[in-house]
Structure 1
Amino acid sequence: MKSNRRDILISLRKDKGLLQKDVVDLLQRFHNVEISESYYGMIEQGVRTPKLSIALAISELFEANPYDIFFEVKPNKKLRERNLA
């Protein structure tokens, strides 16, 4: 997860007025996802990449597109060259 992705995730959480502990509690309560506060913190720091099921639950919790938070689409070299031409 790139720095800007990390910033998006932190921003989404803070916009809802949640602490990391709150996110962990909500994931367990509404999505049956059990992770530790430490693990969630590592996701925000970009140290850990969550499994798809956890990424989708986090995205749903924040009402955000998972691609915007967790994925970065990189065009291949040929596509980049074509766009620059």
Structure 2
Amino acid sequence: MRDWLIRLRKNKGLTQANIAEQVFIDRSYYTQIEQGKRDPSIGVAKQIAKLLQFHPSLFYSEFLDSPLEEALKDSPVIVAHCDRQLRYTWICNPHLNIDWEACIGKRDDEIIMNEGSIALMNIKRQVIEKDIIIRKRIWFLISDRTLLYDVYARALKQEGEIIGAITVSTMLKSIRGE
């Protein structure tokens, strides 16, 4: 099951029939895509992704180890995309306590609410609104640790239009809580 896809659809208030109709495919085909029984063609993946606002590579990340994912595996680096509403549309190598599927369609403050999450959201908002690059260090309280990340953020563009933000966050320090 592609639970992340079902969650995104429901968050938009859409039914399987709504999606199938809007991307010009049969409803049963879309149902099979949600169930993980079929993978969409690249064209269909792009249409569904555009409608639900996520990166189409999510359809294929379940079974393909891309060179980026393999390179980042177990590293202190997190790479992510978000939309203009600051909701994750793609994430690679999130913190160990966070499941990547649970991040899709959510803002940072909906995943973990703390000062670090708010600071990260503010950076993304500025990058989107001003089309600037920001690099800043942010402390996050996650589980029993306080983590210092060096965050690099810039606008994510498609055909010249800003559609969100890209962030690359590198953990610099980890301090165990008491």
TM-score by length of structure 1 reads 0.70
1:70 is aligned with what amino acid?
F
Structure-1 residue corresponding to 2:59: 70
**Aligned: 1:58 with 2:54:** no
1:12 is aligned with what amino acid?
L
The whole-number CA distance in structure 1 between the counterparts of 2:46 and 2:20 is: 14
Structure-1 residue corresponding to 2:8: 12
What is the correspondence of 1:28-67 to structure 2 with a 5 Å cutoff?
Answer: 34-67=24-57
Bigger proportion of residues as strand: 2
Report the Cα offset of residue 60 of structure 1: 0.4
Look up the SS of the partner of 1:48 in the other structure.
Answer: coil
1:39-58: CA deviations, max 9, x gaps?
A: 00000000001110000000
Report the Cα offset of residue 71 of structure 1: 2.2
Pair member with larger Rg: 2
The whole-number CA distance in structure 2 between the counterparts of 1:71 and 1:25 is: 23
Tell me, which stretches of 5 or more residues in structure 2 are unaligned? Answer: 76-178
Report the Cα offset of residue 10 of structure 1: 0.6
Tell me, which stretches of 5 or more residues in structure 1 are unaligned? Answer: 28-33
Report the Cα offset of residue 35 of structure 1: 1.3
Percent identical among aligned pairs is 39
TM-score by length of structure 2 reads 0.35
Please list every run of at least 4 consecutive aligned residues from structure 1 whose deviation after the TM superposition is greater than 3 angstroms. Answer: none
